[in-house]
Amino acid sequence: MSAFSHRPLRAALLAALLPVLVVSGLAGLSSPAGAATPVDGLSPSTAAASCWEVKQLDSAAPDGVYWILTPQLQVPTQIYCDQSTDGGGWALIGRGRENWTYNYNGKGTPAEVAGTVTGQAAFAPRQLDSTVINGLLGGKRFDDPAYGSGVRVRRAVNQDGTSWQETRWSYRAGSRDRWSWALGAGFPLATVTIGGSSISNTTTYEFGADTAYKRLWTHENARNGYVRGFSFGQNGIGSTAAGSYIYSKASGGAYGTPFSQVFIRPKLRSSDLTFTEIPAAGTPAQTIRAVPKNGSLTTTWGVTGLGNGGTTENATEVQAFAQIGGTMYVGGNFTTVLKGATATGNDRVAQPYLAAFDVKTGEFIRSFTPRLNSMVKSLAALPDGRLAVGGEFTQVAGTARSGLVVLNPTTGALDTSWATNLENRMSGGKVSVRGLDTDGTYLYLTGAFTHFIKAGTTERYAKNGGRIALSTGTADNGWNPGFNGTGTALDVSDDKSTVYFAGYFTTMKDGAQPADRAAAISTAAGGNRTAAWQPTFSTKGSARYQQAVQQVGSKVWLGGSQHSMFSYDTSTFALENTHITKAGGDLQAITGGNGVVYGGCHCEHWNYSDTAAYDTTSPGSTNITWTQADKTYYVGAWDEQTGDFAMEFTPEMRARNGLGAWALKVASDGTLWAGGSITSSVKENGANQWIGGFVRYAPRPSTAPGRPGGLTVARSGSSATVSWSASSTSGVTYEVLRNDRVVATSTSTRVTVPGATEADRYAVRAADSWGNRSASTAVVSAAVAPVTTTLVPTGSTWAYRVDPSAVGSDWNRSFFDDSAWSTGAAPLGWGTGPLATNVDVPAGQTRPVTSYYRKKFTIAPGSTFGTVTLTTRADDAVAVHVNGVEVGRSNLPAGALSASTYALSAPSTATAVANPVTFTVPVSALRTGSNTIGVEVHSMYKSTPSSSMDMSLVAEAGNQAPGAEATSTPLVPAGSTWSYLFDNAATVPAGWTTSEAATSGWRTGAAPLGWGTSGPIMTNIDVAAGGTRALTSYYRRSFAVPDASAVKKLTLVTRADDGVAIHVNGVEVGRSNLPVGALTRTTYATTAVSTASALAAPVTIDVPVSVLKDGANSIAVEVHSNYRATPSASMDLSLVATS
């Protein structure tokens, strides 16, 4: 189980925290070895708990860079220590002149902060990541005077930097448990001294004793041109000169922003800290929260212009997203799609209100050309792949449609089968559909409307909320919330029992029941309240409308006015989390994904946590009702489980008129799409870029790296040489732990650590550049070398196949018959490397891209193992399978592999041998008795001059037992012969899934069966030229099971080309790419899939063994196309029993 860490460390920051070799051993810290080394902070091996400890142990310690380590820092870190001022012990956490950041992650690395501490070269601000600053506190609070001296700011008070001023503050008790750079939010202070003058009852927003140099303010303000820093008052004069220590672009140099240094003084000794001893099995994995990166993805296409929807904040350029397949649909009040701000000609397209973009690249999809006459406010992907569109339009492609329409997702053409129209019969009423969602049976909608009109049916009354049956396109006359005001948003609950509404309404059921700006309504007939949900409002004023609602996990989030983002328990509707954004604006959109909740707003200032007091919350006010304050922009993030603000996500962007984000969507690849009036954003590299209405943010990596293996420790005297096999994840840094802390880091797989004793215990883990850490190896002692068993030695004899013809899909399984394959000793291959067996094809023949190798090995009963390490080479690329399960690959793309998959690069055999590849094989992948290992070696190109394969499999002694010996039997092998029916005029027999007699007149052929050129076909079943294809093809065959009770697992592998459903003995056991419900010969596949794509994404089904019976059994398959003219379709499967 991964342990969560919210350390969002960026690449440069982690690199600075993890130098190539760091060695430490701290005195006063308990360890099993009891080793004591001096603590002076002068080297990694003598890292101190704080700058203050260094000074306490050596009163003559000078100013400079020292090594600091606490359990929260995890690795020794270099910090600049001021050892001269007021007894010393001050740790520098930031320095610079103008343009400081409020962001939690700070700006720059520890090395940059500590490396240049003053002078003109230090004018560009560098600030430690708040996570590092919190680490310097060693788990203590910032407002605890027993362990800290508050905050110290040293500012230049003349332009040549020869005169300086000291400012000190301490935080109000109980107000600061962690650091935040959002000082402009106004953290409450207990004591302040500035230039010798004392101030009380104030905040970090602004304080001072005069209007000149004894004034400090941190918020953005027009009086100095919104310059961020630790600014002076009006009479604190600066200039724009590059060398001036006080910067000002205001008239007369007023409100200068000086070069400043920020220090803290944690009073920690090594004896105050508690490190955790490494468990025998190793440390658990650590992963960061899966928020997006702060920098946006590069944008090329966007939208612009304001259409017929108007110019108010409710008519921004982008207001809705929906994804169908690989397409993201963007709706709003825009008029034009363009490629860059200055686009002309073909790069500037008149495509108002609704457009489509590639979900991965953001590229404009020109073939989608809907024609609406006013703005779109909501979108929904219907279960059958069509697109539902809501808004304030009255025509679509010249056809009258008010507020709601269904479109073809490929062309944007009007779906005429959906004919329900909306009316708003309130006085002066205009139809507006602002929220759409579906539970798979109904399309739910909210907005401003009163009636549903459909030709051939009676009109249906449903005021400002309703639902339409997807099967008929007719409104449900018995489901009417009857809101007395406009609905702004809705969300169908995860269990589909409830629809959550938000809006301007105060009652429902036409005034019979209260519904105060939010409601939870049952999806059951009648549309009654699930519960009496009385929201908490942030204001005592009348502006209490709510604009967004969304269930994420066990909470339902409600956002709106005033500036509120609150969560409620989905069962009790009890209030759980309260957040206020200020001085910005209301919450306007909510979505969720990857364990994170996202809110869009026109805020761009501060998020105040744990308060509902909008009326009395104000930046700089000393009336504090909140617990945390953090920087937010137009999009913020909150943790799905705790509801806490995710302070590390601070995406900087700008928006027209500050209207912010009105639409949010987490795409299938984890990318966050945010839309509204957004005009620019900051990319991951720090550069600004043009944005047209919507911006995209890629997810941060949040998966732990692969666990290292094969740890060995060899002690010689007082040094220990630690070696291990590499993680399966590239680009990692390894952390070597000894006893209870990290003592070395390295990018290689071998380090020598001084100060070793025979009682030391070691482990190694891998860390990526974002702060994700693998589980470590199990503990190894230097005094006891690990006992190993070689399961497969190098130089073993292998069966191999080097042939361009197709290999069976079960080639890596234990039951596969490789008796026709050649055999030879490793290394096997061809070319320049030392080879025992040349496997090259004869001269003049074409080599295949992929060669295959198999070997069986045996594990004795009663064996138990610890780490099992497989060592091989990638020449050019390699993937290894144990008992049919892939355990690792190198130099290959992600996704399914085939015989035509090329390696990513072409290393020589010498390079491959010099850089061995290691994988840790789970003991659970092994079996007592016979095991099979399969290796596939892929070349980058067929004429590659060299290729080779050899490997070893070595198991350390441990307490993990392999699985029980299992036997796999193919009941239906791939390539089997099937009876089939493909006839548009024929009637499908009623018993076709079970009866051999029912299908006795069908044709027969070997799989794969189908037609088309995008995949190998053994039996072409296509109709004659000019004939009409059936939409569905049917297949059946029998197989025998002597003893069904002996089967413990039944695995079926097939393809969905386009859609597939499988039946065993008349019981449907699985389907893919097909709608729910009963299937008929006219049921269409959900999407169109090429045979090549279907082969690259096989469908695996765990078939319940209960469907089997002794003796003869029947398996039947129906393959549905997405359209009759599809260029390809195919069917093949394998069914394997494990006993």
The answer to whether 929 and 791 are in contact (CB under 8 A) is: no
Which residue do the tokens 């944690």 mark? 266
Which of 948, 963, 978 corresponds to the end of one domain?
963
Query: Is residue 284 in some structural domain?
Result: no
User: Would you state the pLDDT for residue 783?
Assistant: 60
- Domain of residue 766: give its range: 703-783
Residues 718 and 683 in one domain: no
**DSSP secondary structure of 1024-1058:** PTTPPPPSEEEEEEEEEES-GGG--EEEEEE--SS
- Give the Å distances, CA to CA, from 364 to 80, 387, 413, 1032, 1087: 50, 17, 17, 34, 21
Strand pairing report for 498-503 and 518-522 = antiparallel
Mean pLDDT value of segment 13-18: 41
Which of 963, 979, 995 corresponds to the end of one domain?
963
Start-to-end C-alpha separation, the chain: 30
The answer to whether 439 and 523 are in contact (CB under 8 A) is: yes
| Per-residue pLDDT reduced to its tens digit, 706-756 | 999 999 998 888 889 999 999 999 999 999 999 988 888 899 999 998 888
pLDDT above 50 (res 1) = no
**259 vs 124: CA distance, rounded Å:** 9
Residues 483 and 541 in one domain: yes
Taking alpha carbons only, the member of 981, 1115, 980, 1131 closest to residue 1056 is 1131
Residues 723 and 673 in one domain: no
Residues 720 and 808 in one domain: no
User: Would you state the pLDDT for residue 38?
Assistant: 66
Q: What CATH number is associated with residue 719? A: 2.60.40.10
Residues 989 and 863 in one domain: no
| Per-residue pLDDT reduced to its tens digit, 19-69 | 323 223 322 333 333 344 568 998 877 889 999 999 999 999 999 999 999
| Per-residue pLDDT reduced to its tens digit, 605-643 | 999 999 999 999 999 999 999 999 999 999 999 999 999
Percent of residues, the chain, with pLDDT higher than 70: 96
Q: What CATH number is associated with residue 1006? A: 2.60.120.260
Residue 10 neighbours by CB distance under 10 Å = 21
User: Would you state the pLDDT for residue 744?
Assistant: 87
Mean pLDDT value of segment 994-1016: 89
| Helix, strand, or coil (residue 530) | strand
Mean pLDDT value of segment 423-440: 95
Residues 564 and 457 in one domain: yes
Residues 921 and 1002 in one domain: no
Query: Is residue 18 in some structural domain?
Result: no
The number of folded domains in the chain is 5
**372 vs 392: CA distance, rounded Å:** 10
Q: What CATH number is associated with residue 688? A: 2.130.10.10
The answer to whether 81 and 54 are in contact (CB under 8 A) is: yes
Residues 693 and 707 in one domain: no
Q: What CATH number is associated with residue 186? A: 3.90.215
Query: Is residue 285 in some structural domain?
Result: no
| Per-residue pLDDT reduced to its tens digit, 788-838 | 899 999 999 999 999 988 787 789 988 888 999 999 999 999 998 789 999
Residues 129 and 150 in one domain: yes
User: Would you state the pLDDT for residue 33?
Assistant: 33
Strand pairing report for 709-716 and 688-697 = unpaired
User: Would you state the pLDDT for residue 12?
Assistant: 41
Residues 560 and 682 in one domain: yes
As separate numbers, helices (DSSP H) first and strands (DSSP E) second, the chain gives 6, 85
Grade residue 995 by pLDDT with cuts at 50, 70 and 90.
confident
**368 vs 176: CA distance, rounded Å:** 53
Residues 870 and 986 in one domain: no
Which residue do the tokens 């617990």 mark? 627
| Per-residue pLDDT reduced to its tens digit, 187-244 | 999 999 999 999 999 999 999 999 999 999 999 999 999 999 999 999 999 999 999 9
How far is Cα of residue 553 from the mean position of the Cα atoms in its chain? 16
Which of 656 and 147 is assigned the larger pLDDT? 656
Query: Is residue 225 in some structural domain?
Result: yes
Query: Is residue 2 in some structural domain?
Result: no
Percentages of the chain per state (helix, strand, coil), in multiples of 5: 5, 40, 55
Which of 729, 755, 783 corresponds to the end of one domain?
783
Percent of residues, the chain, with pLDDT higher than 90: 86
Query: Is residue 294 in some structural domain?
Result: no
| Per-residue pLDDT reduced to its tens digit, 1050-1098 | 999 999 999 999 999 999 999 999 999 999 999 999 999 999 888 888 9
pLDDT above 90 (res 90) = yes
The answer to whether 765 and 777 are in contact (CB under 8 A) is: yes
Query: Is residue 632 in some structural domain?
Result: yes
Which residue do the tokens 């949010």 mark? 664
Residues 363 and 435 in one domain: yes
Strands (E), 596-686: 596-601, 606-609, 628-631, 635-639, 653-655, 661-666, 672-682
Query: Is residue 959 in some structural domain?
Result: yes
